[in-house]
A and B are shown apart, each in its own frame.
Chain A
Amino acid sequence: MTLNSITRRSFLGSSAGVAASAVLAGAPMMSSVASAATGAPFPTLAQGRISPQPARDYVDSMLSGGPGKDGIPSIDKPSFWSMTKASEFLDDGDIVFGLVQNDTVRAYPQRILVWHEIVNDVVDGKGLAITYCPLTGTAIAFERGSTEFGVSGRLVNSNLIMYDRDTDTWFPQILAVGTQGPHTGKALVERPLVWTTWGRWRALYPQTEVLSTRTGALRNYRRDPYGAYNDVDGYYLPESNLLFPLMNESSQHPAKSMFLLARTAQNSVAFDLNQLRQKNRLELISNGIFFTAVYDPRLDTGHVFRGRTLAEPIITGASAFDISWSDGVRLEPLSAFQAMWFAVAAYYPEVTVHV
């Protein structure tokens, strides 16, 4: 299916928009359901998350990438370096995925995760799965509760499918909704994870811990089998070819250009990251609801909110939850992450895209 249906709306400062934002300002943040209430070993989103096609479609579109279940070994006992020690391994331009959980600050190097895709970590007492799919360029942190996540070895839309080791429920990473197994339809709870560079991260968080190369397996962590981000090369080049068939295709943007994707129970919205860098703030309307994206130049990343305001953002941390507004209004921070355009379009053919 081609993406004729993708809606693209630039924000127009209409009075209706202002009215809508007034209603949405101060809207409650997404609430999660503890695992005890659902029987799942991991927390789930109370209101769910948009899943545009029936679960069966995702299962039918799965492909093996070659490795079997756990053939790509997750890191289950991570160990960490200090910032100084990590600087011997990382260049300032290398990509890291940054996490701040209360007083704990951690960075997960892309050069390590490209070989493992999942880190089953415990951060400040909370079980988190730090996940990364190299083929779609997506890094997302999930609350994992008491279970661990593993790599199924299968892909849908070139995207990692992970499974929980307690119940064998399968989750495509970007969809983050169960597609097969006892918890099909349930949505995982995401935590803010920042895609940035090592130089930017350590400048902002010199106290950071960094995932070390003592992963329990041996890989050549100085080499990325797909290409490079520092400088961009190989598979990661925006115009380079895709490796696997997709459920939905779109040629409206270069396949691997980076977008900032956010999903709610009803909507999926995406902002061109290059546009956001240039304009600092982008706004769009999706199904009558305003969404705002704000650029954080310190980490070269973006944050997405439901609602809009004319006020200036005051950025105090690494996630959308750390942004307040100069007029005191509260916009609802959303979980958002970078993704290659082809993956956004493949999962969300009705996505509203800022142009």
Chain B
Amino acid sequence: MSELIRRFRADRTSQLIALALTVVYLLLFQFATSELALHGRFQNLTFFALADWQAIMFEARVPFQFEPIAIVEGPFFTWLLSPLNIGIGVMLGGLTGTQIALTNVARKCSTSCGLNRATGLLAGLPGLLAGSACCAPIIFVLLGVQLTASIVTVMGLMVPIAFVLLAGGLLYTVRVGARRCGEAAELENMIVVAPSGNS
């Protein structure tokens, strides 16, 4: 694993991929939960926080979605700020970004490493389906598809499902990537050593 981490630390592009994907996922997650929304008005920047924010911030609207404690309104956007939801978005985004960045590093070690960047993106998808309107999951409101009790139950578990898939995917990526990068490092050493041995 140390070789994978060493190469990741030295790879500026992969670090930027991890950071950018974390931010993009967080923004998508905020849109999906309707906490970030765009509108057509140019208005001054305003900020309002609830006086009893400490009591409210741990209240869950639906499983794994917590109450916002402040609102920022500005030109063309409204942002409801929930520290816990932002934390969840950063966590899921971080897992997605790290997995894809490490896949990128591993593929540089070996083109046939058995890792695919799309896997990480797919694993993060359930988290983006977790948004709930007042009475129903947003995705079903948008699609106009009828719900059943079991679907509602599963929709309430989208955040932990995304976490398990992403964490599992990251572990697999680290395992495979560490092996491939370790092998690549050994091969590089042999190539470096061999010419001097033959001369």
Contact = CB atoms under 8 A, between A and B. Distances in A.
Given A72-B134, A117-B134, A66 B71 contact: no
Interface stretch (B10-18, B60-68, B119-127, B182-190): B60-68
A235 B156 CA distance: 21
A243 B136 contact: yes
Contact of A241 (B60, B62, B145, B156): B145
Q: At the interface, is chain A mostly helix, strand, loop or mixed?
A: loop
Interface string B140-175: 110011111100110110000000000000000000
Nearest to B69: A218
A244 interface: yes
B80 interface: yes
B50 A218 contact: yes
Interface string B179-198: 00000000000000000000
B56 interface: yes
Interface in A34-79: 63-68, 71-73
Interface in A67-111: 67-68, 71-73
Nearest to B140: A243
A333 interface: no
Contacts of B48: 218
B39 interface: yes
Contact of B67 (A218, A220, A241): A218
Interface stretch (A2-10, A178-186, A221-229): A221-229
A134 interface: yes
A217 B67 contact: yes
B106 to A, nearest CB: 38
A225 B146 contact: no
Contacts of A158: 135
A223 B50 contact: no
A160 B134 CA distance: 11
B137 interface: yes
Contacts of A134: 134-135
A18 interface: no
Nearest to B82: A218
Nearest to B145: A241
A198 interface: no
Contacts of A20: none
B5 interface: no
A243 B140 CA distance: 7
A242 interface: yes
Given A66-B155, A217-B56, A226 B68 contact: no
A165 interface: no
B70 interface: yes
Contacts of A223: 34, 37, 39, 78
Interface centre among B48, B133, B134, B141 (most CB of A within 10 A): B134
B138 interface: yes
A155 interface: yes
Contact of A225 (B63, B141, B147, B153): B141
A219 interface: yes
B135 A66 contact: yes
A79 B143 CA distance: 36
Given A114-B134, A218-B68, A67 B147 contact: no
Contacts of A66: 62, 132, 135-137, 152, 155-156
B147 A244 contact: yes
A207 interface: no
B144 A241 contact: yes
A171 interface: no
Contacts of B39: 222-223
Contact of A71 (B60, B69, B144, B155): B60
A240 B141 CA distance: 10
Interface of A: 63-68, 71-73, 114-115, 117, 134-135, 155, 158, 160, 216-220, 222-223, 225-226, 234-235, 240-245
Given A67-B61, A218-B70, A234-B141, 10 more contacts: A66-B135, A68-B62, A71-B60, A71-B62, A73-B67, A135-B136, A218-B68, A225-B34, A243-B141, A244-B147
30 contacts: A63-B148, A64-B149, A64-B152, A65-B134, A65-B135, A65-B136, A66-B132, A66-B135, A66-B137, A66-B156, A68-B62, A71-B61, A134-B134, A155-B135, A158-B135, A217-B50, A217-B67, A217-B68, A218-B67, A218-B80, A219-B68, A220-B34, A220-B71, A222-B78, A223-B39, A241-B144, A243-B140, A243-B146, A243-B147, A244-B136
Give me the 5 closest cross-chain CB pairs, A-B, nearest first.
Answer: A225-B133, A241-B144, A65-B135, A218-B68, A66-B132
